[in-house]
């Protein structure tokens, strides 16, 4: 079985992995963790503060987790959103492409993207897909034959968009977010060509010294 890069990244016992090689020697990669999830910087951090919230259990999408695990992921993502907003004073976007297609994706371990940005991904998707509001991650599709896109916008509203259980055609959400954020060059979305190690290192430095903070209300999204 191929080695899962995210399983390695969230395991504190693993000293050498693809994520760690982009950081300074000895620099900690785990920003925060709980029983059911861990937050780490992402390779291809086209803006400082770009994190992945990764479930402890290896599943193709968050929707295939148990209720308890999903609530654990959601609890940690709220903490991460607070810490990101505290550090960067920008609204926080979260999204997942929950593709449940065996061998249909480069990283086969489901994960939630979280980053400080004004990119209005939810509005962009609403013009192209039929979505519905859900109150939490337990409202995601929960079967292996159903794929989806989930977006928590900068106001905190969570929307699920059903998509085909197929790798082609497929929306590249990182590419869309990069195009919608005026700070970011459009080509920066390609994490394999542009890993942005300096911004990964800055993310760790910016977030690790911060205390755990109480709930901070994110600013409303900026609509372009």
User: Is position 218 within any domain?
Assistant: no
What mean pLDDT is predicted for residues 78-103? 95
d(C-alpha 199, C-alpha 41), whole Å: 9
Over the stretch 18-37, which tens digit does the pLDDT of each residue have? 999 999 999 999 999 999 99
With a cut of 60, say whether residue 221 has pLDDT above it: no
Whether 114 contacts 84, CB under 8 Å:
yes
Residue 136 CA to residue 157 CA, distance in Å, equals 9
Residue 95 belongs to some domain of the structure: yes
Q: Which domain holds residue 104?
A: 5-207
Q: In this structure, is residue 162 part of a structural domain?
A: yes
Question: Does residue 217 lie within any of the structural domains?
Answer: no
- Count Cβ atoms below 10 Å from residue 219 Cβ, excluding itself: 14
Query: For residue 216, how far is the Cα from the chain centroid?
Result: 19
Number of domains composing the chain: 1
Rg of the chain, C-alpha, whole Å: 16
More confident residue, 97 or 221: 97
Residue 222 lies in a domain: no
Question: Does some domain include residue 73?
Answer: yes
Encode pLDDT of 151-177 as tens digits: 999 999 999 999 999 877 789 999 999
What confidence score (pLDDT) does residue 4 get? 95
Q: Is residue 216 part of a domain?
A: no
Please tell me the predicted confidence (pLDDT) of residue 101. Answer: 87
pLDDT band at 1 (very low <50, low <70, confident <90, very high): low
CATH number at residue 93: 3.30.428.10
pLDDT tens, position by position, 120-153:
999 999 999 999 999 999 999 999 999 999 999 9
pLDDT at residue 216 in the model: 43
Q: What burial class does residue 75 get, using C-beta atoms within 10 Å of its C-beta: 0-12 exposed, 13-18 middle, 19+ buried?
A: middle
**Domain-located, residue 221:** no
User: In this structure, how many other beta carbons lie within 10 angstroms of the beta carbon of residue 128?
Assistant: 10
């Amino acid at each position: 079985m191929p080695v899962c890069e995210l399983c390695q990244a969230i395991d504190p016992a693993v000293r050498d992995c693809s994520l760690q090689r982009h950081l300074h020697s000895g620099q900690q990669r785990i920003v925060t963790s709980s029983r059911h999830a861990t937050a780490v910087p992402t390779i291809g951090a086209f803006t400082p503060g770009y994190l992945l919230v990764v479930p402890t259990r290896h599943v193709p999408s968050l929707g295939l987790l148990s209720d308890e695990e999903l609530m654990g992921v959601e609890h940690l993502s709220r903490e991460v959103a607070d810490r990101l907003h505290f550090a960067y004073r920008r609204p926080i976007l979260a999204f997942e492409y929950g593709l449940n297609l065996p061998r249909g994706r480069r990283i086969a371990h489901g994960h939630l993207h979280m980053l400080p940005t004004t990119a209005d991904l939810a509005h962009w998707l609403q013009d192209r897909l039929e979505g519905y509001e859900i109150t939490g991650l337990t409202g995601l599709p929960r079967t292996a034959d159903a794929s989806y896109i989930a977006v928590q916008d900068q106001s905190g509203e969570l929307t699920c968009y059903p998509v085909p259980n197929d790798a082609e055609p497929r929306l590249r959400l990182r590419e869309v977010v990069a195009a919608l954020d005026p700070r970011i060059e459009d080509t920066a979305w390609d994490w394999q060509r542009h890993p942005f190690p300096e911004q990964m290192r800055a993310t760790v430095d910016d977030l690790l010294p911060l205390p755990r903070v109480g709930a901070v209300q994110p600013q409303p999204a900026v609509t372009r």
